[in-house]
Amino acid sequence: MTIISDFKRNEAVPLDLGWINHIHINKSAADRRAASLANRRTVKKEYQAAWLIKAIGLIDLTTLSGDDTPGRVERLCMKAMRPLRSDLVEAMGLQDTPLATGAVCVYHEMIKPAVQVLQGRLPIAAVSTGFPAGLTSMETKVREIELSVAAGATEIDIVITRQHVLTGNWQALYDEMLAYRKACGEAHVKAILATGELVTLENVAKASWVCMMAGADFIKTSTGKEPVNATIPVSLTMVRAIREYHEQTGFKIGYKPAGGVSTAKAALQYLTLMKEELGNEWLQPHLFRIGASSLLTDIERQLEHYVTGNYSAAHRHALP
Ligand SMILES: O=C[C@H](O)COP(=O)(O)O
């Protein structure tokens, strides 16, 4: 993770149940705002190309499949370090611009091959705590975090226990998040809320707040395995919680939409959302990541179109 000199890592603050119980979300206002973002004309031509280059540096390039192999992860890491074809890099005059994704994101067993290829040049995020369902024992979950940190992960993407949200047991959610943060030590922790399983935007907002109060460095929408993953209304709810948490505590929390973000157009919508709701400071990798397995393929295609006027087949840009 980029170290920013004046950046103060989130510290846990006491759980304020009075605050949590008073959270209310105006769903139709959130839907209207989300629709206005989704229907907005995106930036064009060279501005679009510049934004897409920016987006590359914000991707947590992900592979989370049951058939992942060390070979696939090694290729993913090579792609993360050289995310654009060299002819496109040259055509855009980016030879002297450092280009890489924000991190790679893998299962615990794939940390080792990632460490071997990346050699500390890019952060490695490991999904943890019984990802994706989070229904292993607390002891197992904490140990899993410790093992992933020991193996070389510098970022840990934990999944919360959804039942704590669905039953309104905010103390239990706070306690588990606090334990995960402690187990991470220096590694930064992203709290995956699995928003597609939380039923209401109010639950999403409350879970965001509780995780931030318990020391999460990032809040993240989804595992990519829920039936509904990142959406704009959910993102709006979460980034507004981040904004208010910052106003109240001074701590800046990162945001990571993940799951189903596969097109350059969608990435541009998320960049616009972050810029408009949180400002330019949140367009940096220590405060914004997009968790995605195939987004880079589409960004590369769009940049090829920008350079040549033509699209090539997606498989020419295929990830491992
Ligand atoms: O955290 C990242 C997600 O699991 C990736 O989901 P995706 O394969 O839909 O891009």
Q: What 3 state SS string does 116-185 have?
A: HHHCCCCCEEEEECCCCCCCCCHHHHHHHHHHHHHHCCCEEEEECCHHHHHCCCHHHHHHHHHHHHHHHC
Which one of the listed residues 79, 141, 157, 298 is annotated catalytic? 157
Is 70 exceeded by the pLDDT of residue 315? no
What sign has the CA pseudo-torsion 215, 219, 220, 221?
positive
pLDDT averaged over every residue in the chain: 94
What confidence category does residue 36 fall into, taking pLDDT thresholds of 50, 70 and 90?
confident
Looking at residue 3, what is its pLDDT?
45
122-131 average pLDDT score:
98
161-190 average pLDDT score:
98
Looking at residue 164, what is its pLDDT?
98
Is 60 exceeded by the pLDDT of residue 256? yes
Pocket test for ligand 1, best of 58, 62, 76, 297 (most atoms within 8 A of CB): 62
- Is 220 labeled as catalytic in the residue annotation? yes
Looking at residue 311, what is its pLDDT?
83
Task: Specify the range with the lowest mean pLDDT, choosing from 44-48, 55-59, 288-292.
Answer: 44-48
- Tens-digit pLDDT profile for residues 52-108: 999 999 999 999 999 999 999 999 999 999 999 999 999 999 999 999 999 999 999
Note whether 233 and 26 are within 8 A (CB): no
Is 50 exceeded by the pLDDT of residue 296? yes
Beta strands at 103-106 and 218-220: parallel, antiparallel or unpaired: unpaired
- Is 79 labeled as catalytic in the residue annotation? no
Looking at residue 34, what is its pLDDT?
86
Query: Which distant-in-sequence residues (6+ apart) come within 8 Å of 83 by Cβ?
Result: 56, 59, 61, 99, 100, 101, 296, 300
Note whether 155 and 123 are within 8 A (CB): yes
Query: Which distant-in-sequence residues (6+ apart) come within 8 Å of 202 by Cβ?
Result: 23, 24, 25
Note whether 319 and 65 are within 8 A (CB): no
What sign has the CA pseudo-torsion 280, 286, 292, 296?
positive
Report the candidate in 307, 296, 257, 282 with the shortest Cα–Cα distance to residue 77.
Answer: 296
- Atom 1 (ligand 1) nearest CA: 291
Report the candidate in 43, 49, 47 with the shortest Cα–Cα distance to residue 299.
Answer: 49
Rounded to whole angstroms, the Cα distance separating 55 from 77 reads 17
Looking at residue 320, what is its pLDDT?
60
pLDDT > 70: percent of the chain = 95
Residues with CB under 6 A from ligand 1: 62, 64, 105, 223-224, 258-260, 262, 291-294
How many Å lie between the centroid of ligand 1 and the Cα of residue 292? 4
- Is 87 labeled as catalytic in the residue annotation? no
Q: What is the pTM of this model?
A: 0.95
Pocket test for ligand 1, best of 222, 231, 255, 256 (most atoms within 8 A of CB): 222
Query: Which distant-in-sequence residues (6+ apart) come within 8 Å of 244 by Cβ?
Result: none
Looking at residue 317, what is its pLDDT?
61
Is 90 exceeded by the pLDDT of residue 20? yes
What confidence category does residue 1 fall into, taking pLDDT thresholds of 50, 70 and 90?
very low
177-183 average pLDDT score:
98
Is 80 exceeded by the pLDDT of residue 217? yes
